Amino acid sequence: MNDVFSALKIGSVSLKNRLVVSPMCMYSAQNGYANNWHLVHLGSRAVGGAALVMAEATAVSADGRITPHDLGLYEDGHVDFLKIITEFIKQQGAVAGIQLAHAGRKASHNRPWEGNHFLQPEEGGWQTVAPSALPYKQNEPAPAALTPNEIDALIQQFKLAAQRALEAGFEVIEIHAAHGYLINQFLCSSSNLRTDQYGGSFENRIRLLQEIVVAVRQVWLPPKPLFVRISVTEWIENGWSLNDSIALVNELKNIGVDLIDCSSGGNSPHQKIPVAPLYQLEFASEIRRRCGILTGAVGLITTPEQAAEIIAEGSADLVFMGREFLRNPYFPLHAAHELSAGVSWPVQYERAQKK
């Protein structure tokens, strides 16, 4: 039986336990540049005992940012401060990961705490792009459909960002293909009406993601761990489904993807999500069982007992947690105490260790 505090080796990386800080946008960068906020935010969770700290959705191009304050890896200059962050994370015995993303038609918005509205160019926004000229919300301007040349350039942007992630010292890359962002928009027929080789059939709709994986793998060489986050279901009738995800993952497995981070939703404003504790867990367990690939579970996992059970039952290989890690950066240290697991505390904090 596996234990949530047991180590897991994935390619070149050894994780000290199964607890992962889920990628979470901080909307606190300037022109894509990380700063002290990111150092303290990510650093605290490494101090708190997470095995893998995944930095937020990081844009591969300026127009791929959800807001003007997203983190970016689209300039060489972005690397330097990220290097400070990855060094700190490693000093805590944790692994630094980064999620590479392009927001597509969901780009050019202001921040959640500013209202989450579409930003017009005169407000600092920009023309968004997507597989097809369909806005996510009806009252928003239509994105421009990407041309084949622009798709080639986009694939190169993912590759270049992966190269910069390597230079910045990250040890895991996760490609963001979930939550209705650009890659997810290509996967789903509700957002992809193209008639070229990137639209129409299932094989065509998954092509962009496959080409991005192949391009990233040219610079992010095996055995470096490569994860992909997908929305396993679109939560709409006749939309992208678990069966589509299984067929997709079987293809991704063959081109060097190591782990599928199993989330859901975000591509359709008509989605109906039955939100409840562990509501996405079955996706991680089904994909793990049917595709024979490592999976991460995510979504309303909040207690040490839930995390322990997920790993003990073999439902997933990693437990990604978002909001609980915002409430409690030291979740793994508390969980270890509660589950009577022996973990090493940061030496600076040893006197606070409950016996």
Which is nearer to ligand FNR, 179 or 194 (by Cβ)?
179
Is residue 229 near ligand FNR by the rule CB under 6 A? yes
Is residue 99 near ligand FNR by the rule CB under 6 A? yes
User: What burial class does residue 343 get, using C-beta atoms within 10 Å of its C-beta: 0-12 exposed, 13-18 middle, 19+ buried?
Assistant: middle
Between 331-338 and 304-312, two packed helices, what is the crossing angle to 10 degrees? Answer: 70
Please state whether the peptide bond connecting residue 23 to the residue before it is cis, i.e. omega within 30 degrees of 0.
no
Please pick, from the candidates 20, 59, 79, 321, the single residue that binds ligand FNR as defined by CB under 6 A: 321
Q: How far is CA 340 from CA 4, 110, 197, 250, 333, in A?
A: 12, 44, 54, 38, 10
Residue 298 dihedral angles phi and psi, to the nearest 5°: -150, 155
Q: Which amino acid is at 303?
A: T
Of 119-127, 146-154, 216-224, 317-325, the window that binds ligand FNR (rule: CB under 6 A) is 317-325
User: What burial class does residue 133 get, using C-beta atoms within 10 Å of its C-beta: 0-12 exposed, 13-18 middle, 19+ buried?
Assistant: middle
Is residue 61 near ligand FNR by the rule CB under 6 A? no
Is residue 323 near ligand FNR by the rule CB under 6 A? yes
Q: List the structure tokens of 275.
A: 């939100």
Is residue 298 near ligand FNR by the rule CB under 6 A? yes
Total residues binding ligand FNR (CB under 6 A)? 20
Of 90-98, 129-137, 322-330, 331-339, the window that binds ligand FNR (rule: CB under 6 A) is 322-330
Is residue 306 near ligand FNR by the rule CB under 6 A? no
Q: List the structure tokens of 10.
A: 């994935």
For residue 190, the tally of other CB atoms under 10 A from its CB is: 17
Residue 74 bears catalytic tag:
no
CA dist 193 and 171 (Å) reads: 36
Please pick, from the candidates 15, 20, 25, 85, the single residue that binds ligand FNR as defined by CB under 6 A: 25
Q: Which residues pair with 107 in a beta bridge?
A: none
Q: How far is the CB of 126 from ligand FNR (least distance, A)?
A: 19
Is residue 216 near ligand FNR by the rule CB under 6 A? no
Of 114-122, 142-150, 297-305, 329-337, the window that binds ligand FNR (rule: CB under 6 A) is 297-305
User: Are 27 and 111 a contacting pair, CB within 8 Å?
Assistant: yes
User: Are 110 and 70 a contacting pair, CB within 8 Å?
Assistant: no
Please pick, from the candidates 97, 180, 299, 329, the single residue that binds ligand FNR as defined by CB under 6 A: 299
What part of residues 149-178 is at the interface with ligand FNR (CB under 6 A)? 176, 178
What part of residues 103-142 is at the interface with ligand FNR (CB under 6 A)? none
For residue 7, the tally of other CB atoms under 10 A from its CB is: 11
Is residue 64 near ligand FNR by the rule CB under 6 A? no
CA dist 93 and 102 (Å) reads: 30
Please pick, from the candidates 86, 263, 267, 268, the single residue that binds ligand FNR as defined by CB under 6 A: 263
Q: List the structure tokens of 23.
A: 């990628």
Question: Of how many residues is the chain composed?
Answer: 355
Taken in order 41, 15, 297, 310, the sign of the CA dihedral is: negative
Return the residue nearest ligand FNR (CB atom): 322
Of 35-43, 126-134, 241-249, 295-303, the window that binds ligand FNR (rule: CB under 6 A) is 295-303
Which of 181, 198, 279, 330 is the catalytic position? 181
Which is nearer to ligand FNR, 159 or 176 (by Cβ)?
176
Please pick, from the candidates 17, 22, 231, 285, the single residue that binds ligand FNR as defined by CB under 6 A: 22
3-class SS at 206? coil
Of 162-170, 231-239, 296-304, 333-341, the window that binds ligand FNR (rule: CB under 6 A) is 296-304
Q: Residues interacting with ligand FNR, by CB under 6 A?
A: 22-25, 56-57, 99, 176, 178-179, 229, 263, 298-301, 321-324
Catalytic annotation, residues:
181
